[in-house]
Structure 1
Amino acid sequence: MASIFNIDTLIISFDVLDYEHVIKKYIGILDEAKEKSRKHLYANLDTKEYISIKDMEFEIMPTGARGYAYLLHNDLIELRLAMYRSNTKSFYPIVVRFKSGLLWEKVMNSYSYVASFIRSAFNHIINTKVNRCDLALHMDGLSFNVSDVDSFVGRFRKDSLHRCDRNIESLYFGSRTTNKCLCRIYNKTREVIEKRDKYWFFDIWDKSKLDIFNVWNIEFELHRDFLKECNIDSWDDLRNNINSLWNYLTNEWLRYVDLSTATRRENCKLNPLWIEIQKGYDYLEFNGYIERSVQRLRDTSKYVPSAVGYLTSLSALLNIDNVDDAILSLKYSMLEYLSKNKDSTFKEEVEKKKKYYSEIEVIL
C-alpha cells in the first residue's frame, strides 16, 4: 500500500498596497479585452481573447465573478481582479485559484511562485486569506462495502455513497451547504479515465509505486469558515499547520473504525487502514511530483476524442468516408474560416498558442 499527499485545490485572496492606484494601469487593456471577449460570445464565435500581465499570458473571460469585474485564467492559475478596492476591509481585491497542474509540480512552492507574480504585477502584499484548501491523500489498495459507511464516526452529520456497477465508487461525509468541511473518498483512477483529463496523474502514481489501476483519493475540502475555526487565516498559518490540521481531520473530524472491537462505535479501535491514512502528511513530496512539460505532453491526449468527433461529424454531413479526404476538406474549410472571420492564417494562430504556452514555461 503506497500513498502520496498534497494540496489539490487552493484559493487565496490577496490584499496589496495602494491597489486602487495600481489597477488603473490595467483597466484600459482589461476593459478592451473583456469587451472583445463578450462580442465573440454574442457572435457565437469560438475565439479567445488574450492579454499579458507582467509577461504572463491570460485568457480573459467575457464576464467577471461576484465582486470581481475581471476573470482571467491560464494553465496555472485563475485570477480574479476587482475594479476598485471595496470599503469592506475583509474584501480583498485579488483572488487566485491555484490549478492542479501548478500544485502538483511545485507543491508548497506554488505560493512563492504566485506571490512573486502578484508583487511584480501589482504591489507589495499586505495580507492573505485562505478561502479554500483541499488536502488530498492518494492511496492504492482500497475497497469498500455498503456496510462500511457505518464504520465511519466523527463530527460530520451527513453521509452518502455512490455506486457504479454495484461497486462503491465514492463516499461523502459532511456537506458543502454548510460552507465548512466535506470529505470525499473516491476512486481517483476512474475519475481520471472518465473525465479524460490529467492523465499525468498516472506518471505520478507509477513513479510513487502506486497501483495505477486502483488509486483512491481521501480528500478534505476545507472552506474559510472551517479554517478560521482551526485558527488558520493566512497562507503562513496554513503552511505552518498543515500537519496538525491533517491530524485533527483524521483523528477527530473523521475516523474509520473496526466495529467488532467495542459495542459503542465511539469506543471502537481504528481500522488499520485509517492508521495509514493518518500518516498522510508524512508522504508529502516537497520537491514536487511532476514537471509541467510532462503534464502538457500527457494532456494532449484529451483533445483527440473531440478532434475525432468533429472530423467524423463533418465527414458524415459531407458523405465522406475516407479519412484523408475528410482531413483535406477540413483543411480548406478551416483556412477559409480563419481568413474570413479572423483575418488570420493557421500559422499565425499556432504562433499565438505557442507564445501563450512558452511564456508560461519561461516563468516556471
Structure 2
Amino acid sequence: MSQESKVSNQSTEPPRGATSASEAAWRDGEVEKNLTDALHPSESTSQGTPPSNTVPNNCNSECFKPLRFGVDSLYLSYLGELSPEIDEAIKELKQIAQSSELHEQVFAQYPVDAHIFEVKDKGARFFPYILEDNAFRIQLSRSRSMPLAYVKLSSEYLTHVLPFDAEKALRRIVEHFGAVHESANVGRIDLFVDFVSPVDMESWDRHAWVTRASAISAYSNERIFSGWVIGSGGVISCRLYDKTLEIEKKSKKYYLHELWKQAGWNGKDKVWRLEFELKREILTQKGLSKLSEVLNHLNGLWSYATTEWLRLTLPNPDDQTRSRWPIHPLWSYLSSVDWETNDSPLSSRFNAARVPGDDKLFTMSLSYLISFMARENIIDWEVGTAAFINALTMYHGQKSFNLGLPFRDYIREKVAIKARLFNSLLNKNDAKEQAELEREARAYQKQSDGD
C-alpha cells in the first residue's frame, strides 16, 4: 500500500475557529521529505506523471472566475542589534503597560513615522517587546543570537500595497529600533486565489485529494460546509474555503467586497479562497530565504504546491494507481494562475489605526439607543436622542464624582484608553514630559557648573 493511501481516524484541530465536519483524517507519516525542486521541474513528478496546467475540454471559463490573487500574510525577520537607548525606552513603556491603573497604561505607546504602536504588556519567547498596529506586529529581541525583529505584516495592509513596497516601509521602521545587517528573511508567506465557481466544493470526498500532506479534513460552520484543510500544522498547508462565509461569521473583512466588485464580482455569488501557507522550512529547502528571492519565484512555489504537493483529482475506482487519476477541471484552472501577470486591484485606502468600522460602531450604538427609547416609552427620534444623552451624562457624571474626577477628565481618560488600543491618538504624558525637562535642565546645569 502506498503512503498516500494510508487512512486513520485521527483528526486535526479546526483552523481559525472552524468546526470539524468529520473526525476522519488522512495521515501518511511523511512531512516534506526529499522534496522535488519545483523551481526547475523535471519532465515528470515524483508521482510518475508530468504536472499539467492544461485546461480539460470538458470545462470552459464558466468553471472558474478569478477575482484576486496575491500574498495574504507575510512574516519577515531582520538580523541586527537593538539600540541600547531604544531598549531602555521600550522597557519603560512595557512597564507602564503592566501598570494596574488604566490611566497609566494609556501612555504605553511608541510613535514611528505615521504609526502609533501599542506597546504590549507581555512579550514572546526570545522577544521581550511587542509593538502592534493595523499594519505591523513587531517583536523585538535584545539577544544577538536572535533576529533584531520578527514582524507580521497584516493581510489588510497587503491589500493596499504590494509586498515589496510594504517591506520598504517596514524596513524604515525597523532601522529606527537598531542596526539592521541584512535584507529581510521570510519566515512565512501565504499565497491565495479568490474565485467564483459553480462547482460544488463538497462534491468529492477526501480520497480525491492526492497529496503528501499528513492530514485532510472537511469543515463546516453552523452545519454549512465551509471548506477543506490539507496538511494542517505542517511546513506547507492548504485551505480551500468559503471566504464570504468566513468574512460574515468571523473576520468581518468587508473591505474585500469592494475589491472583488472591482474584479467583476456580482455581490451575490460565493467567493472561495484557495490558500497555501508556506513556512520557512519549505522555502529554505527550495533555496529561498530572502524576500526578493521568494517574490521572484512565486510561480515555482505555486506550481510545486498545486502539482506536486497537492492535486485535486477525479477518482477512478477501476484504477488503484492514484497518480494516474485525471486532474479535476477546477484544479487545472487554479494551478495555472500566472503570478507574473498579477494585476489584482489594490485598496485605495488604508488606516494603520485599528479602529472599528461604521457598521460595527453605529449598529451597536443604535441598538443601545433604541433599547433606551423602548424602556422610556419614547418613539420620537429627537426626543429620544436628547433624553439618552442627558441620562448618559448623568450616569457617568455620578461615576466620575465618585472617583473624584472632573467629568471632562473622566471622559478624556476613557478616550485615551481606546486611543491606545486603536492606535488612533498619541496620548501625552504631561507629568513624564515635565520630569524629562527637569532632568535635562539638571544635566545642563551640572555640565555648566563643571565648565
TM-score, length of structure 2 as denominator length? 0.66
Q: 1:45 to 1:311 in 2, by over 3 A?
A: farther
Tell me the amino acid that sits aligned with residue 113 of structure 1.
A
Q: CA deviation at 1:327?
A: 4.0
Q: Is the 8 A contact 2:66 2:193 kept in 1?
A: no
Question: Equivalent residues in 2 for 1:84-233 (5 A)?
Answer: 84-86=142-144, 88=145, 91-108=146-163, 109-141=165-197, 142-145=199-202, 147-164=204-221, 166-176=223-233, 178=234, 180-195=235-250, 197-213=252-268, 214-233=270-289
Aligned equivalents of 1:78, 1:347: Cα separation in 2 = 25
Q: 1:199 to 1:25 in 2, by over 3 A?
A: same
Aligned equivalents of 2:226, 2:110: Cα separation in 1 = 41
User: Deviations for 1:4-47, whole angstroms, at most 9, x for unmatched residues?
Assistant: 1111111111113xx24x2x12233312221222115x769995
Q: CA deviation at 1:258?
A: 1.9
Aligned equivalents of 1:287, 1:146: Cα separation in 2 = 29
Q: Is the 8 A contact 2:298 2:339 kept in 1?
A: no
Greater Cα offset, 222-231 or 141-150: 141-150
Tell me the amino acid that sits aligned with residue 188 of structure 1.
K
Q: 1:287 to 1:216 in 2, by over 3 A?
A: closer
Q: CA deviation at 1:51?
A: 1.8
Tell me the amino acid that sits aligned with residue 244 of structure 1.
G
Instruction: Identify the match of residue 237 of structure 1 among 280, 293, 301.
Output: 293
User: Deviations for 1:48-87, whole angstroms, at most 9, x for unmatched residues?
Assistant: 73221345310111111111111111111111111x233x
Aligned equivalents of 2:200, 2:253: Cα separation in 1 = 23
Q: CA deviation at 1:125?
A: 4.1
1:254 and 2:310 aligned = yes
Q: 1:257 to 1:85 in 2, by over 3 A?
A: same
Question: Equivalent residues in 2 for 1:322-341 (5 A)?
Answer: 322=378, 324=385, 325-333=387-395, 337=400, 339=405
Aligned equivalents of 2:94, 2:67: Cα separation in 1 = 43
Greater Cα offset, 324-333 or 194-203: 324-333
Hey, what does 1:362 align to over in structure 2? Answer: none
Hey, what does 1:34 align to over in structure 2? Answer: 94
Structure showing the higher strand proportion among its residues: 1
Q: Is the 8 A contact 2:313 2:325 kept in 1?
A: yes
Name the SS of the counterpart of 2:252 in structure 1. coil
Tell me the amino acid that sits aligned with residue 300 of structure 1.
D
Tell me the amino acid that sits aligned with residue 156 of structure 2.
G
Q: 1:161 to 1:240 in 2, by over 3 A?
A: same
Name the SS of the counterpart of 2:159 in structure 1. helix
Tell me the amino acid that sits aligned with residue 119 of structure 1.
E
Question: Equivalent residues in 2 for 1:42-57 (5 A)?
Answer: 47=106, 49-57=108-116
Q: CA deviation at 1:123?
A: 3.3
Tell me the amino acid that sits aligned with residue 9 of structure 1.
S
Q: CA deviation at 1:156?
A: 1.2
Aligned equivalents of 1:308, 1:230: Cα separation in 2 = 54
Hey, what does 1:301 align to over in structure 2? Answer: 359
Tell me the amino acid that sits aligned with residue 360 of structure 2.
K
Name the SS of the counterpart of 1:290 in structure 2. coil
Tell me the amino acid that sits aligned with residue 60 of structure 1.
V
Q: 1:306 to 1:348 in 2, by over 3 A?
A: closer
Name the SS of the counterpart of 1:160 in structure 2. strand
Aligned equivalents of 1:205, 1:333: Cα separation in 2 = 45
Q: 1:43 to 1:247 in 2, by over 3 A?
A: same
Aligned equivalents of 1:311, 1:125: Cα separation in 2 = 55
Greater Cα offset, 103-112 or 322-331: 322-331
Aligned equivalents of 2:308, 2:245: Cα separation in 1 = 29
Hey, what does 1:291 align to over in structure 2? Answer: 348
Tell me the amino acid that sits aligned with residue 264 of structure 2.
K
Q: CA deviation at 1:300?
A: 3.2
Aligned equivalents of 2:105, 2:359: Cα separation in 1 = 21
The percentage of counterpart residues that share the same residue type is: 20
Structure showing the higher helix proportion among its residues: 1
- Decide which structure has the larger Cα Rg and report it: 2
Hey, what does 2:135 align to over in structure 1? Answer: 76
Q: CA deviation at 1:261?
A: 9.5
1:13 and 2:13 aligned = no
Aligned equivalents of 2:266, 2:107: Cα separation in 1 = 39
Q: 1:32 to 1:295 in 2, by over 3 A?
A: closer
Q: CA deviation at 1:311?
A: 6.4
Tell me the amino acid that sits aligned with residue 93 of structure 2.
A
Q: Is the 8 A contact 1:4 1:137 kept in 2?
A: yes
- In structure 1, list runs of 5 or more residues that go unmatched: 360-364
Aligned equivalents of 2:103, 2:414: Cα separation in 1 = 22
Name the SS of the counterpart of 1:227 in structure 2. helix
Tell me the amino acid that sits aligned with residue 125 of structure 2.
R
Q: Is the 8 A contact 1:70 1:81 kept in 2?
A: yes
Q: 1:194 to 1:64 in 2, by over 3 A?
A: same
